[in-house]
Amino acid sequence: MITLLLIFFPLVAGLLLLFVKGQQVRNIALGTAVIEFAILLFALTQYQHGDTIQFDANYNWINSLGIHFHVGMDGISLLMVLLTTFLVPIIILSSFNREYSKPSLFYSLILIMQFALVGVFVSLDGFLFYIFWELALIPIYFICLLWGGENRARITFKFFVYTLTGSLLMLGGLIYLYLHTDGNHSFDISALYKASQSIDAVGQGYLFWAMFMAFAIKMPIFPFHTWQPDTYTVAPTQGTMMLSGIMLKMGTYGLIRWLLPIAPLGVAHWAHLAITLSVIGIVYASCIAIIQKDFKRLIAYSSIAHVGLISAGILAVNVQGVQGGMIQMLSHGVNVVGLFFIIDILQKRYKTREIASLGGIRNLNPQFAVLFLIVLLGSVALPLTNGFIGEFLLLNGVFQYNAWIAAFAGLSVILGAVYMLRSYQTIMLGETNSLTTSFAPLSGSEKAVLLIVCAAILVFGVYPKSLMDIAEPSVIKLVEGVKLAMGK
Amino acid sequence: MKALILLSSLGVISLLAEIFSFKKLLYPLVLLGLTAAFVLNIGEWNTNITYFKMMQFDNFAIAFTSVIIVIAFLWFLMAEGFFKEETSLTDHYALVLFALVGAVLMVSYTNMAMLFLGIEILSIPMYILAGSNKDDVHSNEAAFKYLIMGAFATGFLLFGITLIYGATGSFALEEIKNAVANPGTVPSIFYTGVLLMLVGMAFKVSAAPFHFWAPDVYQGAPTMITAFMATIVKTAAMAAFLRLFDTTFLRVAGSWSDVLWVMTALTLLVGNITAVFQTSTKRMLAYSSVAHAGYMLLALLAANNYSNPAILFYTLAYSIGSIATFCIVSIIVNAKGDDGIHSFNGLGKTNPLLAGIMTIALLSLAGIPPTAGFFAKYYIFTSAFMAGNVGLVLIAIVSSLIGVYYYFRIIIAMYFKEGSHEEVPLDINHKLLLIVIGFAIIALGLFPDCIIRLL
């Protein structure tokens, strides 16, 4: 029941929101998102630690094809839903310093997108998963198209076609798997898992690529990333936050929930190439990030680097790697939302995102400088921030797979520190220039968002165990199962 | 059968309306008649009645007849304006209704003679209606082209039927099927006949490389008639194609499946790629309709137990989506006098409802969840996958992506481009119709089971 409520509450609220007029609509949207988070917290209290699927709901949907409306959460799903429901209120709150045209449509699309995202993370039926997966694309496409920046029509369309290409390949893979299920065929996740055992290594290789392409484009992994920097840059701040904070986790979640168990032999054969691509992406994106002039674009590239490490850790198929991936998904979500918000604050005040044109802001507002610094340190994975534990586990996981690859992957930490600290230095330190003569004080909503983000960074940096415990049993079960199927 | 009789009598009655002058009553009468025909048709479900070995109202026929009647009903609601002209009003009614009779024959025949009659009863009114905008050169051109090309197709079809008759000595599908039960003894003219019929049917469903008439005819004909051709004619032709090739000619599939494979691939690619370069929306929709024929051929080629429900659902989803798009295109053409894509500029600001429904319809035609068009495509892909046509599925996936490109051009124009700030006038009937269709597209996408379990 709780799962159904979590899925449909934002949808209903989002649709009703269309009929509300005026700027007060954002308060209602915020209220909805907070209630949704409260529901999730309630679910957390009801959660029994273990590796089973809980809050299960299973209804017949398209009977003649064995398609079910089957949703439920284990620890992995629960953490992803936690991330979604935690970030959406922050994202809505972060929009309070702006007045968007057609606010009811804007907030409605955000809530409908939340509906689709939660749906992706709790689906236990292949067809349902695909529907939610695609559904998430439509609201974000319109958010970017209607409220985005320059050149948005071309760029968002590229984004749409890119992700749709991946999705259709995944659909092909799912149908292929579906036709291997017993009897009258079924899309239920357990039936699909079982069907994959009857497919030989070559077939699983095709399956691996069909699914991996979809996830790789979504995350994105080098060389499928070319849509990402443009889209992140052109999207409105909230759209970028949804894309980078939550939506890219659909890809990494897909790796864990669908790719590893469905194509273990494919993973055994192709993971080396996929991990190599991920690691190339880390180094490549970090290097490009260093030379970026636009701060938003820099963060977009840094996101490719971070997600490359997550992907490499997961594909290494060991408990540390996958567990690190889980934690890093949460940390990256929180940090990147914080960073994009800081860019939004700067852009709102100075009408530019060019790093070199800013400077000396710390002198004007030390409070903002401290908050910025915390978010930044979280993002470069300093110990005692949330980024550290995830990156540590991920590197540990990759190291167990191959020490050389881990050495290159480790560059992400160093290069990350280079471009992040350099930008901080240019923007915040030094002397003020003609542009940065003053800094309008942070508004209440801006302060609130930054404080929540910083609190999350510090709390989970100091005490990550609370989160790790939720997913651990499920991760162990999953990894053991996959390893067994891989014949290790 | 009752539906067929009712539709025929409705056609005759509308001719009489001119003499007994109850022209005003005709519109409600036709809507009522269609409703009654729908009910009567559903009443014959599972009865499986055969008429003189000429027609059989099996569930296949009933299901497709229902789709045709439902679409015709929506079409009449949309096309009210088409029946305003005093002088030719009753002719228009009669022609449309007789075309429907032909369509029903085409989905229920069990004899080649009935197939031929059905196609002709459908086509002749369409030739006239395509030219019904008498003062317009393009409309005349459309009618003439349609007639010439249609006559060619009919020629191929008849030649095919003749050869098959020569080889088997029968027009009845059942006897033809039995006659070719043993492939070793089939005379070679039979295969020639099958291929000629394939060409004839490909003309009718506008499959490449026999699609060249479609864009000119679609663009030139009055928009309402284009909508009729794109929906009802296509549904009937596809069902006729399916009924012939997936039952009667299934045993000799080896002789036509390779040809159809190539035709399907060509149709998908040519339809979608050419549509990209169109600036007229009507012409673009014409090419998109060619492409949609390609998707349906995918299931026809698969010839497994998914084929019938897949094509049934596809025709319904595609027709409903097309009715919505053509309705909006005609509203825009009336308001702005131009069917170029730029006519849609700024529609999202001036008419949010119109733009919203158009978006839903286009998403459905492009096959994006959760719309009916997505499930239709999914089902077709599954059917083709099951038959092992993986290569074709990949081509279909690529062409779907190309399809997204041109459908989204309209969406981008509506929401992104600046246009005139004048609101496009929209009467209440069309408004209601569009809202209903919008909901139907989503509902069919979410609950497809109610349709696909029928066959």
For chain B, how long is the longest CA-to-CA vector? Answer: 71
Query: Does residue A289 surpass a pLDDT of 90?
Result: yes
Task: Quickly count: other Cβ atoms within 10 Å of residue A384's Cβ.
Answer: 12
Task: Give me A216's structure tokens.
Answer: 């790789």
Asked if A304 and A412 count as a contact pair (C-beta separation under 8 A), the reply is no
User: What is the rounded CA–CA span in Å between residue A225 and residue A248?
Assistant: 12
Query: Strand, coil or helix: what is B56?
Result: strand
* A67-85: average pLDDT: 93
Q: What is the pLDDT of residues B8-41, one digit of tens each?
A: 999 999 888 888 878 888 889 999 999 999 999 9
User: What is the rounded CA–CA span in Å between residue B208 and residue B295?
Assistant: 12
Query: Does residue B53 surpass a pLDDT of 90?
Result: no
Rounded to 5°, angle at Cα A162 from A161 and A164: 60
* B80-85: average pLDDT: 81
* B112-138: average pLDDT: 92
% of chain A residues with pLDDT over 90: 68
Q: What is the pLDDT of residues B88-108, one digit of tens each?
A: 788 889 999 999 999 999 999
Q: What is the pLDDT of residues A87-133, one digit of tens each?
A: 999 999 999 888 888 888 999 999 999 999 999 999 999 999 999 99
Task: Quickly count: other Cβ atoms within 10 Å of residue A448's Cβ.
Answer: 15
Q: How many domains does chain B have?
A: 1
Query: Does residue B183 surpass a pLDDT of 80?
Result: no
User: What is the rounded CA–CA span in Å between residue B49 and residue A415?
Assistant: 77
Q: Closest partner residue to B385 among A138, A157, A175, by Cβ?
A: A175
CA dihedral angle for residue B355, residue A97, residue A13, residue B356, rounded to 10 degrees: 0
* B296-309: average pLDDT: 92
The β-bridge partners of A354 are A294
Q: Distance of alpha carbon B97 from its chain centroid, rounded? A: 16
* A241-258: average pLDDT: 93
Burial class (CB in 10 A: 0-12, 13-18, 19+), A246: buried
User: Residue for token digits 């082209």?
Assistant: B145
The verdict on a CB contact (< 8 Å) between A65 and B386 is no
pLDDT grade for A63, boundaries at 50, 70 and 90: confident
Asked if A110 and A94 count as a contact pair (C-beta separation under 8 A), the reply is no
According to DSSP, residue B455 is labeled -
The identity of residue A488, as a single letter, is K
pLDDT top residue among A251 and B84:
A251
Task: Give me B385's structure tokens.
Answer: 């996958």
Query: Strand, coil or helix: what is A387?
Result: helix
* A15-43: average pLDDT: 91
The identity of residue B290, as a single letter, is V
According to DSSP, residue A99 is labeled -
CA distances from A290 to A245, A285, A295, A355 (A): 21, 9, 10, 11
**A188 φ, ψ (degrees, to nearest 5):** -60, 145
User: What is the rounded CA–CA span in Å between residue A321 and residue A290?
Assistant: 27
* B253-282: average pLDDT: 92
% of chain B residues with pLDDT over 70: 100
Query: Does residue A486 surpass a pLDDT of 90?
Result: no
Q: Closest partner residue to A146 among B386, B415, B452, by Cβ?
A: B415
* B212-223: average pLDDT: 91
Residue of B312, B408, B442, B452 to mutate for A, most A C-beta atoms under 10 A:
B408
pLDDT for position A153: 86
pLDDT for position A52: 87
Query: Does residue A328 surpass a pLDDT of 70?
Result: yes
Q: What is the pLDDT of residues B370-401, one digit of tens each?
A: 899 999 999 999 999 889 888 999 999 999 99
The verdict on a CB contact (< 8 Å) between B412 and A153 is yes
Task: Give me B137's structure tokens.
Answer: 């050169």
Q: Closest partner residue to A64 among B370, B378, B449, by Cβ?
A: B449
Q: For residue B392, what are the domain limits?
A: 2-452
CA distances from A211 to A299, A436, B125, B194, B292 (A): 27, 48, 50, 41, 26
User: What is the rounded CA–CA span in Å between residue B127 and residue B132?
Assistant: 9
Asked if A256 and A76 count as a contact pair (C-beta separation under 8 A), the reply is yes
For residue B408, the chain A residues in CB contact (below 8 A) are 157, 160
Query: Does residue A69 surpass a pLDDT of 70?
Result: yes
The identity of residue B296, as a single letter, is M
User: What is the rounded CA–CA span in Å between residue B25 and residue B267?
Assistant: 43
* ipTM attached to this prediction: 0.90
B153-157, B183-187, B450-454: which is most confident: B153-157
Q: Closest partner residue to A62 among B374, B415, B449, by Cβ?
A: B449
User: Residue for token digits 């929906």?
Assistant: B231
Chain A residue with CA closest to B450: the answer is A62
State the smallest CA–CA distance between residue B304 and chain A in angstroms: 13
Please state which of the ranges A91-95, A182-186, B148-152, B373-377 shows the lowest mean pLDDT.
A182-186
Residue from B248, B300, B298, B311 nearest B455 by CA? B311
- pTM for this prediction: 0.93
Q: What is the pLDDT of residues A360-402, one digit of tens each?
A: 888 888 899 999 999 999 998 888 888 899 999 999 999 999 9
Task: Give me A295's structure tokens.
Answer: 């701060």
pLDDT top residue among B89 and A198:
A198
Domain ranges within chain A, ordered by starting residue: 2-486
pLDDT grade for A488, boundaries at 50, 70 and 90: low
Chain B residue with CA closest to A135: the answer is B369
Q: What is the CA radius of gyration of chain A?
A: 21
pLDDT for position A300: 94
Asked if B251 and B190 count as a contact pair (C-beta separation under 8 A), the reply is no
